[in-house]
Amino acid sequence: MAIGGGGFGRNRREYLIEKYLLSLSNKSLPKVCFIPTATGDNDSYIVRFYSTFLKLNCIPSHIDFFKRTLDFKSHINSQDIIYVGGGNTKSMLGVWKEWGLDKVLQRAYMNGVIMSGVSAGAICWFTNGITDSWNDELKVLPCLDFVDGTCCPHYDEEVSRKPYIEKLIKEDKLHKCISIEGGCALHIVNGKPLQSISFKHNKKSYQVYLLNGSIIHKPYIVNQL
């Protein structure tokens, strides 16, 4: 579940996307683990996670890498859902690879643990992600490659995103891109996009590509919550 922007960090009342995510486990009390590495394990972000998920039917937990770190291998494999927060994707992936979390997550994913996240936590699952980890410009960043393709979050929320993607495609530096708006998530099953989950009014995700010299935005099927 790749969330383009929003969710518990911003809208705290309805929890539409959080409830949808929990429903995917088909369990009455799923275990959901938050990984906030991309913010350097920001305390207020962790508090917001618990303030939301403790109100829902689930068992929440989190993993720190900038404080004392629990035995994450056994913990990850005992979870139903992993939720990765936003922030600096490049720094997050660097920490994960140093600790070996990337390999643990891959094994858990292959064993059926649901992977999800917002922004950095959305793009990290793809072959590549469009990131603002650098202050001066957007870049294409190699990610975990659990899902084939390149993904861009915040497609309608940050004005630099759309022209950057279109420029890369027109210059043949990028063949196509999955672009997800804020307030929308892309539900992926077995590595293939199933549908857009819109938890704000009329939000979408797209396959963006070049056809006969024109940029095409082909929307995925939308499920409006």
Q: Which residue has the tokens 């094994």?
A: 107
**Active-site residue among 25, 116, 119, 196?**
119
CA distances from 105 to 75, 77, 78, 136, 221 (A): 11, 8, 12, 31, 28
Q: Given the structure tokens 């858990």, which residue do they identify?
A: 108
Close Cβ partners of 153 (under 8 Å, ≥ 6 residues apart): 2, 3, 4, 5, 118, 119, 122, 123, 129, 130, 180, 182
206 and 176 in contact (C-beta within 8 Å)?
Answer: no
Is residue 154 among the annotated active site residues? yes
Instruction: Given the residues 62, 154, 196, 198, select the one marked as catalytic.
Output: 154
187 in active site:
no
Distance separating alpha carbons of residues 186 and 197, to the nearest angstrom: 6
Q: Order across the sheet with 147-152: list the strands.
A: 139-142, 126-131, 147-152, 176-180, 205-211, 214-219
The dihedral of CA 125, 9, 81, 84: what is its sign? positive
Phi, psi at residue 158, to the nearest 5°? Answer: -125, 120
- Which residues are catalytic, by number? 119, 154
